[in-house]
Structure 1
């Protein structure tokens, strides 16, 4: 038999239900109500974190200039945050250029993601919180048909262990009709297969381009470019050279065959593209350079042949890549099916000379190369821009 609560009891329950859920604070004060991050109409971003016992809290942010004369307003002092009377530390940054930005807090020397923000972006070794500043025609979330991004786990026979990649399928793919061109999109050093679909906004960039009729619907494959823990200069299993070769082997023997057997993609050269940023740009050149007959479109963002302008400590320019690929570079028949070689790099990018030298080397071997320089440096702001410019040129009938 059901029992009815008296009206007073119902009122108490209703009052409790209307209260926001309290975060557990064993042995500590209950935090006040606050939001983080908050983006204003003026594109200023307010970051907050509750750390009443901390001695110092700083904001670390990807792509938002941090120190010196070029620092974004609010970042001139290295992102130091101010403590309020209620134990909440706060920093206001901006106005900030529209786009996605990684950030986290340094609380007394400990890196902490924002506990009030569920949006995150992975790298090869850690995790960052993610904030999006709207106002970009290319990457905003618009009222258009949206595709889907899937995390795909596969067994790499090349490396002998499970691996992961992200795959974007365009709006309408789920209907199960027709085949699509395929675009392999590679990330840079220290990032991972999650990066292009989070901080890179690849899904929304493609959705917007397709909806506007500026790009063909396509499947975009974003594989993991690292094959283990990584740092520059590391030896043994973690060396840069070894990981570059391991990734190329995994891509050729596992990733590409799996994608082109599992997904409804067109398997000919005219419907296959590859591009990458920084380390991924070098991997793109390695893969396309060794298998040029398989790719009709090649894009290199903020990258080139590493060492082509010389190494550290005054080392002479490295010509090994050019020499080892000479027969392919000079093959006139292979060039006939190559529809686009596209380079983009920022004027302030530390790899701009590498990019320029690689373009000139390819031109010496008879390649028709399109290259452009943008403002800025080695940042996701530029890489999102390059994707929005490169993708509309793919798989178009000329």
Structure 2
């Protein structure tokens, strides 16, 4: 057989479906299917090809825990080796998920949309229908991934920055909101699962929020765990606050056209980011006109021990910030101190204790005790838009 004949035979074998189609079994090419599939009735079908697996479960910490699918769903396998589960109807919004394949978490290989956390990545599915976080036909701003060198931590770091529609071609200064994420998440979380850019686009287009710059820094300074006695949390809290004050905010103020007065500077955060928000704000209260705390407060304030309650290792949070808490000029210049936490949230008592402390000190505090728990449904669909509507007015 000549060389050209061998090439013709090889090409014909490759082109013939009957001859080239792989057989089922280990290493086989998966059949055609899509995942996730979002249907008009807001049910979501997820699928995974895993012919050798004994068990596959759908898992998501973002879905409502009081629904049949909120704590995970066992998937069923068909004769092609494709596992499938139907969820819903699912409330509008974005949700992170993974598959547990014989106990091992994996992302959905058919879904290119992901959400990065501090130490892992999630698949991400969006169910349309949200009045605040849907992609709509309105002017859009931009979310940039910004790398910088943190001199205080002696390493490169990253943050995400939203600029409103018209910023690049316009002039003038803008107010700024520093928006902090929660424990185990990353600087990408607010713009992926939190859809902060789209939330602001929609609010600005509707005239419900002022055009603003939103800075979303990385709140972790390394691999994270609460650790014995909360040592990792406490260490990273101090490292992040130092990085924020010495590096993040100065970089933003050098690079972006942001206002430099208190009336046009806000800071807010969820969960861990809410605790960081209070720490930063109370160290520099003269610099912030608006402070938002979502599903959080001073950790430990509702009990004795590590954190806000103080212990033998050092003064309590209240003792450390006594001067700011007692200064009437700092207090009177704060336009908004806003808390929101769900009634099913495990940090509700922490929020209540923190609100009580500020009220005892004479602060004008707004506290929204809402439905729901410690989930992105509250932070994305309610707390961020509700807080943003009150800023810089």
Q: Give your verdict on TM over 0.5.
A: yes
Corresponding residue of 2:226: 232
Tell me the matched-pair count.
371
- Alignment match of 1:269 (pick from 262, 268, 273): 262
Could you list the runs of 5+ residues in structure 2 that have no partner in the other structure? 1-10, 16-20
Q: How does 1:1-398 map to 2 (within 5 A)?
A: 28-65=27-64, 70-72=66-68, 74=69, 78-234=72-228, 239-311=232-304, 317-318=309-310, 320-384=316-380, 385-396=382-393
CA contact (8 A) 1:51 1:87 kept: yes
3-state DSSP of counterpart to 1:389: helix
CA distance in 1, matches of 2:383, 2:130: 14
CA positional deviation for 1:27: 6.1
- Higher deviation after alignment, 324-333 or 385-394: 324-333
CA distance in 2, matches of 1:235, 1:327: 27
CA-to-aligned-CA distance 1:243-270 (integer Å, 9 cap, x gap): 0000000000000000010011111111
Corresponding residue of 1:19: none
Output the TM-score relative to the length of structure 2: 0.90
CA-to-aligned-CA distance 1:284-309 (integer Å, 9 cap, x gap): 00000110000000000000011111
CA contact (8 A) 2:299 2:308 kept: no
CA-to-aligned-CA distance 1:42-69 (integer Å, 9 cap, x gap): 1111000111111111111122246xxx
CA RMSD of aligned residues (A): 2.4
CA distance in 1, matches of 2:215, 2:200: 12
CA positional deviation for 1:336: 2.7
CA positional deviation for 1:176: 3.9
CA contact (8 A) 1:234 1:240 kept: no
CA-to-aligned-CA distance 1:89-142 (integer Å, 9 cap, x gap): 000011111111000111122211111111100111000000011111011111
CA contact (8 A) 1:199 1:380 kept: yes
CA distance in 2, matches of 1:316, 1:240: 13
Output the TM-score relative to the length of structure 1: 0.89
CA distance in 2, matches of 1:27, 1:155: 46
CA distance in 2, matches of 1:26, 1:83: 14
CA distance in 2, matches of 1:362, 1:102: 35
Corresponding residue of 1:4: none
CA distance in 2, matches of 1:228, 1:170: 30
CA contact (8 A) 1:75 1:93 kept: no
